[in-house]
A and B are shown apart, each in its own frame.
Chain A
Amino acid sequence: MISLTVNGKTVQLSATPDTPLLWALRDELGYTGTKFGCGIAACGSCVVHVDGKPARACVTKIESVAGKQVTTIEAMDSNRIGQALQAAWIRNDVPQCGYCQSGQIMSAAALLARNPRPSDTDIDESMRRNLCRCGTYNQIRAAIKDAAATLSA
């Protein structure tokens, strides 16, 4: 059994140690907000935070996160940056299909945590590995700036 903390709760996982965190979250723990897009860390739909840093859950084996703190989209309404981003996402009406947006918000939260006022170049650099097939990139950019502004207000 591998033990870790997910959204503040300690959990024991019965999945094999090579199981990607994505599938442990989704299939064993029921946190389905974290999405499967590619399985090879190429799209960003599965971004979660491990000890506060963004990680691609589809290529993160659970044995590598034993004892660590994992945060998913389901807990983003319980921290200041997450709240600001979710509110900005709603104000800017960002999502279309919405499938990639959990990962987008998780990547954006990691960006704002280390860079409270990101430039366009900073946003490009942090968000370029999060794909959106609906084409919401300009709205994502606007919402990140909007959230940054509310956080520094």
Chain B
Amino acid sequence: MSTNAFTTRRDFLKGSAATTGALVIGFTLPVSSRFARAAAAATSGAGFAPNAFLRIAPDGQVTVICGLSEMGQGVHMGIASLVAEELDADWKSVKLEQAPVDMAYNNPLFGMQATGGSTAIRGHYEPMRKAGAAAREMLVAAAAGKWGVDAAACRTQDGRVMGPDGKSAGYGELVAAASKLPVPQNPSLKDPKDFRILGKGLTRIDTPAKVNGSAGFGIDVKLPGLLTAVMAHAPVPGAKVVSVDDAAAKAIPSVRLVVRIPQGVAVLADGYWPALKGRDALVVKWDDGALGSLSSAGISKLLTDATTKPGAVARNEGDVSVAVAKTIEAVYEAPYLAHACMEPMNCTAWVRAGEAEVWAPTQGPGPHQGIVAQLTGLPPEKVQVHTTYLGGGFGRRFAPDFITASTLLSKAAGVPVKLVYTREDDMRAWFYRPASVARFTAGLDAAGNPVSFTARVASPALSIAAGFATELPKGIDEAAVEGIADMLYAFPNLRVEYARAEPGIPPWFWRSVGHSQNVFFIEAFIDEVAAAAGRDPVEFRRSLLARQPRLRGVLDLAAQKAGWGSPLPQGVHRGVAITNCFGSFVAQVAEVSMDATGKPRVHRVVAAVDCGRTVNPDVIHRQVEGAIVYGLSAALHGKITFRNGRVEQSNFNDYPMLRMEEMPKVDVHIVPSTEAPGGIGEPGLPPATPAVINAIFAATGKRVRTLPI
């Protein structure tokens, strides 16, 4: 099994009439091809390709074609597993190929070819199984025809069709006959009890290439005549170049060109090192523009002030002005955060006469194809996007900045250009998880029962920044209030408001998006309410979830597996937090002690997950564990701050992440379920921070309301 991320299939889109929707406001993301030929995969050599998602060669080799981006979440494994299960393929003969851009590969939940939002399995669970099942039915029909028997008398296993009287044929022997048969539109799917791959834990398809250095990431792309670009990026959003002195840069051996584009000034050289030296030798004078005096204190004040005024109503039930015996109030704040993917942003573009190619670690090959088409004036079908492996994504690689800049540089230089961000460029390139402030009020009656709940959240509008909307429906940005407006706790009187506040720093999708800050806010605040009511944090949450069996189910399971209420070693304390997001339910219990300097030490996190039917339990374990690490890095270390409009952090020395010696033990428990699959890349993240913060309260009696801790 192998993956060739650099497969070039120039002919794939031949004949697929493709156009793009118009766009051009900010970072508007156009859809890719309007028409697609599902069977276009058949154009790639001999063999049997009943649809765009698989191909079987005469030697029996099964190639699964995946339009989703592999960024560590295991999507190649997931897609290959779904197809192979229903195909009854011999798993050892299955390899994976990264798809080009084609509407056939649009993410059904997005309507474009893009990976994110924990949608891969949710969106492809049935379509990919049907792709495999259709091929299986055709292979069976081909065998039955060849043998002159009833198809119902045949069965399949490990890449072979078995008929009566010991008849048997490998799939490869049947491809010619199967190719002539009609493709069934509604093939029957297996009963899940017969699954041999799904729900099991096979080794990931991409693992071998990732232990010997052969996996091809975007930064590894090589082309004849390639120049490497390092760019002087705008130091402040909206800053403009006033003047450039590039004499010293051009004097450096191997520096070929200095190119100015709207995003900055790039030095193009034979390799990264001379390009970097050239970039550092540039003397660029910038006009900072309107944001040149922006500071983190100012941003904090803007957001906090916004929560003191009425906002747009995201949810309103009962009457929150009802009389209460006791009121609990708190204000929470979360900082901007960088994604800090291990592979810095990069893209290789080659704009030629009448066509263009980009090789990119991208989460949005579909929309990015449209962007390149716009920038070059080419029709989208003349733009090929080769999606490489992604060295981390977390939402960042859906942004178009590295695509846009490399395309413009290649267009200007007339040669293939690989634009590489230095770590400092990457850290300071914005597209951050937005800062946010939430103001809460809860009311208890004389008996300590929760009566009312009010939340007002101030945050930038992500849907506008991403170009998904030009105005907010009813004034609400979904990402800004998700996790609070849709919370499942039953308060008889409940009101959630959104106060839009725009500091001017481009915000972006960051693993688990709005839930990353809002679940911290609400789960820490709920703990405050439980304490004010004199109630146990688990019991209090349970009492508000009487009609939420799946969420209460994970809460109960996590509490049970963590031994909630049982004694812990001296100085170790527990905190709990829960979430429902991306179609899944997660509860976590963190075990935390405080060191002599007052810093928390997270010893163990026990997670319970209900994500419906599972495709690969090992991948689920790893995604939840990885999401916890990502969340803890933010909780313990993460903040992006501004001074004079400039980002103060630069690299891993001042934007630290969790290290080996800080890594807690993580136990993940999956709830057996026959519900539809939920997402898994993100839901494990939101509860990690509040679970730790609630444990810190148990340890110290102090509430942490701003991050990092």
Contact = CB atoms under 8 A, between A and B. Distances in A.
Interface of A: 15-16, 19-20, 23, 26-28, 30-40, 42-43, 45, 72-74, 76-77, 85-86, 89-91, 93-102, 105, 123-125, 127-141
Interface in B633-673: 633, 651-653, 657-661, 663, 665-666
Interface stretch (B34-42, B319-327, B502-510, B618-626): B618-626
A38 B423 contact: yes
Contacts of B72: 95-98, 134
B392 A124 contact: no
Given A28-B271, A73-B213, A100-B342, A40 B423 contact: yes
Given A26-B220, A42-B653, A95-B211, 13 more contacts: A32-B220, A33-B212, A35-B342, A35-B391, A37-B342, A37-B652, A76-B212, A90-B211, A97-B342, A99-B342, A131-B659, A132-B342, A138-B665
B652 A43 contact: yes
Given A37-B344, A39-B423, A40-B651, A140 B660 contact: yes
B389 interface: yes
Interface residues of B, number: 62
Contacts of B214: 33, 74
Main SS of chain A's interface residues?
Answer: loop
B222 interface: yes
A27 B272 contact: yes
Interface in B63-85: 71-74
Contact of A135 (B228, B274, B391, B629): B629
A45 B342 CA distance: 8
Contacts of A90: 203, 207-208, 211
B206 interface: yes
A89 B215 CA distance: 15
A97 B630 CA distance: 14
A133 B214 CA distance: 20
Contacts of B273: 15-16, 19-20, 23, 27
A139 B207 CA distance: 13
27 contacts: A16-B253, A20-B273, A23-B273, A27-B273, A28-B271, A32-B220, A37-B423, A39-B422, A42-B651, A73-B212, A86-B211, A95-B211, A97-B71, A97-B72, A97-B393, A98-B215, A100-B391, A101-B211, A132-B629, A133-B657, A134-B629, A136-B622, A137-B629, A137-B658, A137-B659, A141-B660, A141-B663
B212 A133 contact: no
B663 A133 contact: no
Nearest to A96: B72
A16 to B, nearest CB: 7
Nearest to B391: A99
B211 A105 contact: yes
B405 to A, nearest CB: 18
* Of A35, A134, A140, most B-chain CB atoms within 10 Å: A134
A135 B626 contact: yes
Nearest to B253: A16
A135 to B, nearest CB: 3
A137 B626 CA distance: 9
Interface in B197-238: 203-204, 206-217, 219-220, 222, 228
Nearest to A20: B273
Contacts of A138: 625, 663, 665-666
* Of A26, A34, A93, A140, most B-chain CB atoms within 10 Å: A93
